[in-house]
């Protein structure tokens, strides 16, 4: 899939590019609005990562041009402005998602995956996990016919581990993901562990959950072949 990264900060765009390349995306970078505008009218993209704070261009204007150019790409706005106004305006102009800087690369890739799933119109998005059926659309978990009652946070954790399966997720990445409001994150505590413990407890009533692995000192990994 083709990604256009529109970001004037060279180091940041390079880190994003490095990460996405490993994830299997093809990336192009535009360092300013003019460059981006030219690229938009030439190449088709699947994803556009748009920094709103460009030196030469109003990011929201670029978003408009994007739609005018007939791009079918999903647009994720990256911004340091963080004001809700920008968010609303961006989403109104047809952006698909919004990430406030500083963002986690894993969070970015999860959002991109979520958009892809949505775009491909998967009505029922059920993943089989060691006997459990995880419904990502309805946000529910079943074991055969039994509905397992998970809290919002527990489901968020399970889903995040699932989306990033076979990869170690640090406690911090999980923490930042499940607490929408960054201000409430307590970086020195391991409240995530409590949620994982509860999640495991609820699931093991039905079947062993050895596929959730604790990676000592780092975090967790969901092993799925």
Partner 1 sequence: MKLYYKLTLINAISRVTIVAAFLIFVPDLIYKAAIQHTDDLLAKRKVEFIHIMDKMGVNQFVQEESDSTYADYTIFKEKYVSIEPAKKIINDTIVTGRRDIEGDTVEARILKHSFKYNNTNYLLEIGESLQYVDDLKAVLSKVALYILLGVIFLTVFVDLSVMQYLLRPLQKIEAKLKGIRTPEKFDYTLVKTNTTDFRYLDRTIRNMMRKIRNTFYIEKEFIANVSHELLTPVSILQTRLENMLEAGNLDEETETKIIESQKTLGRLKQIVRSLLLISQIENNQSSKEDRVDIAELLKEVKSEIEVRLIEKSITLDLELHDDFIFTPSNRSLLYTLFFNLINNAIKYNKQNGWIIVTTEKTKNEYLVHIRDTGKGIAPENLKSIFQRFKKLNNSESESYGLGLAMVKTIADFHDVEITVESKQNEGSTFTVAFKL
The least CB distance from residue 120 to partner 1, in Å, is 26
Q: What is the 3-state secondary structure (H, E, C) of the chain?
A: CEEEEECCCHHHHHHHHHHHHHCCCEEEEECCHHHHHHHHHHCCCCEEEEECECCCCEHHHHHHHHHHCCCCCEEEEEECCCCHHHHHHHHHCCCCEEEECCCCHHHHHHHHHHHHHHHCCCCCCEEEECCEEEECCCCEEEECCEEECCCHHHHHHHHHHHHCCCCCEEHHHHHHHHCCCHHHCCCCCCHHHHHHHHHHHHHHCCCCCCCEEEECCCEEEECCC
Minimum distance of partner 1 from residue 199's CB (angstroms): 12
Least gap, CB of 203 to partner 1 (angstroms): 18
Integer Cα distance of 74 and 81 in angstroms: 21
Binding interface with partner 1 (CB under 8 A): 9, 11-12, 15-16, 18-19, 22, 80-85, 101-106, 153, 167-168, 170, 172-173, 176, 181-189, 191, 194-195, 217-218
Task: Indicate the residue among 11 and 225 with the shorter CB distance to partner 1.
Answer: 11
Nearer to partner 1, 67 or 87 (CB): 87
CB of 58 to partner 1, least distance (A): 17
Q: Are 110 and 160 in contact (CB under 8 A)?
A: yes
- Pick 71 or 173: Cβ nearer partner 1: 173
Measured from the CB atom, the residue of 115 and 172 that comes closer to partner 1 is 172
Q: How far is the CB of 183 from partner 1 (least distance, A)?
A: 6
* Shortest Å, Cβ 133 to partner 1: 26
CB nearer partner 1, residue 103 or residue 143? 103
Which CB, 187 or 225, lies closer to partner 1? 187
């Amino acid at each position: 899939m083709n990604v256009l990264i529109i970001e004037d900060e060279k180091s940041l765009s390079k880190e994003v590019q490095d990460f996405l390349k490993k994830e299997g995306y093809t990336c192009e970078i535009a360092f300013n609005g003019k460059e981006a505008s030219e690229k938009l009218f030439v190449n088709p993209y699947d994803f556009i990562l748009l920094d709103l704070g460009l030196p030469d261009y109003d990011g929201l204007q670029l978003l408009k041009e994007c739609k005018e150019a007939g791009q079918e790409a999903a647009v994720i706005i990256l911004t340091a402005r963080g004001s809700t106004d920008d968010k609303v305006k961006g989403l109104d102009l047809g952006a698909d998602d919004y990430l406030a800087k500083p963002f986690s690369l894993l969070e970015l890739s999860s959002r991109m995956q979520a958009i892809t799933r949505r775009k491909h119109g998967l009505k029922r998005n059920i993943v089989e996990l060691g006997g459990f059926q995880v419904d990502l659309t309805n946000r529910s978990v079943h074991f055969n016919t039994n509905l397992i009652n998970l809290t919002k946070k527990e489901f968020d954790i399970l889903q995040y581990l699932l989306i990033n399966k076979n990869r170690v997720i640090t406690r911090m990445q999980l923490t930042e993901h499940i607490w929408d409001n960054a201000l409430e994150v307590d970086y020195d505590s391991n409240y995530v562990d409590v949620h994982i413990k509860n999640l495991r407890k609820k699931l093991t009533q039905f079947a062993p959950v050895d596929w959730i692995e604790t990676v000592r000192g780092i975090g967790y990994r969901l092993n799925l072949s």
